[in-house]
Structure 1
Amino acid sequence: MGTWGTGLYSNDLALDLKGTYMRLLKEGKTKEEVERLTIEQYEDTMECEDEDDETIDAWLVLADLEWKYGRLSERVKARALGYLETGKALEAWEECSKSDYKNREQVLEQLREKLLSPMPAEKKIRVPKPYECEWKLGDVFAYQFTSDYSKEKGVENHYMVFRVIQLVRSKSDNSIQPVVQVYKWMGKELPGLDVIYKECLLPSTGIKHPEGYLKLKSIAYEWNIDISSKRQIKKGSLFYLGNSPAISVIPQQKRYTNEGGMFLYKWIEEYFIDRYLVWKDVENIPSHIDEQEHMRPNTYQWRLGDVFAYKFNTEYSKEKGLLNKYILFRVIELLWDKEKDCINPVIEVYQWLGDEVPSSEIIKQTPLLPMMPLEDPSKYVENQRLNYNMILDTMDEADIEKGNLIYLGREEVIISCSKQIHKTIEDHLYEWKSIENVIVDRYLEWKDVDFITY
Structure 2
Amino acid sequence: MGAWGPGLFSDDTACDVRDEYREMLEDGVEDDEATQRMLDSYAGALDDADEATSVWLALAVTQSKLGRLDPTVRDRAITAIDSGADLARWSDNPRLAAKRRDVLEKARAQLTGPQPQRKKVRRPSRHVTDLQPGDVLSYRASNSNLALLRVARIDDERHSVAPVLVALDLTGTHVPNQPELDSLADKPETPFRLDGSPIPAWASTSWRVAVFERIDYDTAGFQRAGHTIARRDDPAFHTRTYTSWQLLSRDLERNLTDASAMPNP
TM-score by length of 1: 0.40
RMSD: 4.5
Q: Counterpart amino acid of 2:147?
A: M
> Secondary structure of the equivalent of 2:118?
coil
Change beyond 3 A, Cα 1:278–1:75 = farther
Correspondences of 1:12-411 after superposition (within 5 Å) = 12-13=10-11, 17-18=14-15, 21-22=18-19, 25=22, 28-29=26-27, 30=29, 31=31, 32-33=33-34, 36-37=37-38, 40=41, 46-49=45-48, 51-52=49-50, 54-83=51-80, 87-89=82-84, 92=87, 100=98, 106-107=105-106, 110-111=109-110, 113-114=112-113, 119-145=115-141, 156-170=143-157, 173-189=158-174, 191=175, 194=178, 196-197=180-181, 199-203=183-187, 206=189, 208=191, 223=206, 225-229=208-212, 230-233=214-217, 235=219, 237-243=221-227, 247=229, 255=233, 257-258=235-236, 260-266=238-244, 268=248, 270=251, 273=255
Greater per-residue strand proportion: 1
Quickly say closer, same or farther: Cα 1:196–1:224, change in 2 above 3 A: farther
Equivalents in 1 of 2:207, 2:104: separation in Å?
Answer: 46
User: What SS does the aligned partner of 2:138 have?
Assistant: strand
Paired letter, 1:202: D
User: Which runs of 5 or more residues in structure 1 are unaligned?
Assistant: 147-155, 209-221, 282-454
Query: Structure 1 residues 264 and 106 mapped into 2: Cα distance closer, same or farther (>3 Å)?
Result: closer
Contact 1:25–1:34 under 8 Å retained in 2: no
Structure 1 contact 192–241 (Cα < 8 Å) conserved = no
CA 1:144–1:110: 2 relative to 1, 3 Å: same
- Distance 1:20-1:228 versus aligned 2 partners, 3 A rule: farther
Cα distance in 2 for residues equivalent to 1:165 and 1:90: 48
Q: Summarize deviations over 1:163-188 as a string: whole Å, max 9, x none.
A: 33533322xx1521223454321212
Please tell me whether Structure 1 or Structure 2 has the larger radius of gyration of its CA atoms.
1
SS of structure 1 residue aligned to 2:61 = helix
Distance in structure 2 (CA, Å) of the matches to 1:188 and 1:231? 25
Instruction: Give the C-alpha shift of residue 162 in structure 1.
Output: 2.8
More helix by share: 2
- Relative to the length of structure 2, the TM-score reads 0.63
Distance in 2, Cα, partners of 1:207 & 1:38: 44
Q: Does the residue aligned with 1:63 lie in a helix, a strand or coil?
A: helix
- Are residues 130 and 120 of structure 1, via their aligned partners in 2, closer, same or farther at CA, if it must alter by over 3 Å? same
- The alignment-based identity, stated in percent, is 14
User: How many angstroms apart in 2 are the aligned matches of 1:38 and 1:157?
Assistant: 56
Task: Provide the C-alpha distance between the structure 1 equivalents of 2:154 and 2:164, rounded to a whole number of angstroms.
Answer: 6
Gaps of 5+ in 2: 192-204
Amino acid at match of 1:36: R
How many residues are aligned here?
A: 233
Shift of 1:225: 2.1
Q: 1:169 to 1:121 in 2, by over 3 A?
A: same
**Matches of residues 393-432 of structure 1 in structure 2 within 5 Å?**
none
Q: Determine if contact 1:224/1:259 at 8 Å carries over to the other structure.
A: no
Q: Measure the CA separation in 1 of the matches of 2:140 and 2:227.
A: 19
Q: 1:242 to 1:67 in 2, by over 3 A?
A: same
